[in-house]
Structure 1
Amino acid sequence: MNTCYIITAYINGKVSDFINKEEKPFILCADGGYRFAKQENIIPNLIIGDFDSFRENISSEIQTIHYPSEKDDTDTMLCVKYAVEKEFDKICIIGGMGGRLDHTLSNLQSMAWAINFWKEHELKAKKISMCDNQNHIMLIMNESIKLSGQPGEKISLISYSEKSINVTTKNLKWELTGALLTNSFPLGISNEFLTDECEISVDSGQLLILRSKD
Structure 2
Amino acid sequence: MAKVMLVAGLAKHIPIIEGMDYIGVDYGAVCCLRQKLPLVLAVGDFDSTTKEELDALKKNCKVHQLPIQKNETDSEEAIRCAIELGYDEIILYGGLGGRLDHELANLHLLLYRDLPLTLMNEHNVMKVLLPGSYTIQKQYRYLSFFAIEESVISESGVAYPLCEKHLRPRDIFAVSNEISQQEAEIIVHEGKVLMIQSDDENA
Where do 4+ consecutive residues of structure 1 move more than 4 Å? none
Once the two structures are superposed, residues 112-144 of structure 1 have per-residue CA deviations (whole angstroms, 9 ceiling, x without a partner) of 355x25xxxxxxxxx531222111222222232
Q: What amino acid maps onto 1:140 in structure 2?
A: L
Residue 188 (1) aligns with residue 185 (2): no
2-side partners of 1:191 and 1:32: how far apart? Answer: 35
Tell me which residue corresponds to 1:47.
42
Q: What amino acid maps onto 1:156 in structure 2?
A: S
**Offset, 1:61:** 4.2
Tell me which residue corresponds to 1:157.
145
Contact 1:80 1:110 in 2 (8 A): no
TM-score (norm 1): 0.82
Which ranges of structure 1 fall in alignment gaps of 5 or more residues? 118-126
1-side partners of 2:164 and 2:105: how far apart? Answer: 30
Identity of aligned residues (%): 24
| Structure 1 segment 110-121 matched on structure 2, within 5 A | 110-114=109-113, 116=114
Alignment coverage as a number of residue pairs: 196
Q: What amino acid maps onto 1:169 in structure 2?
A: E
Q: 2:131 aligns with which of 115, 138, 142?
A: 142
Contact 1:166 1:178 in 2 (8 A): yes
1-side partners of 2:155 and 2:109: how far apart? Answer: 26
Contact 1:34 1:54 in 2 (8 A): no
2-side partners of 1:167 and 1:101: how far apart? Answer: 30
Residue 19 (1) aligns with residue 10 (2): no
**Alpha-carbon RMSD:** 2.1
| Structure 1 segment 1-214 matched on structure 2, within 5 A | 1-11=1-11, 13-15=12-14, 18-20=15-17, 22-23=18-19, 25-56=20-51, 57=55, 58-114=57-113, 116=114, 127-149=116-138, 153-159=141-147, 161-163=148-150, 165-214=151-200
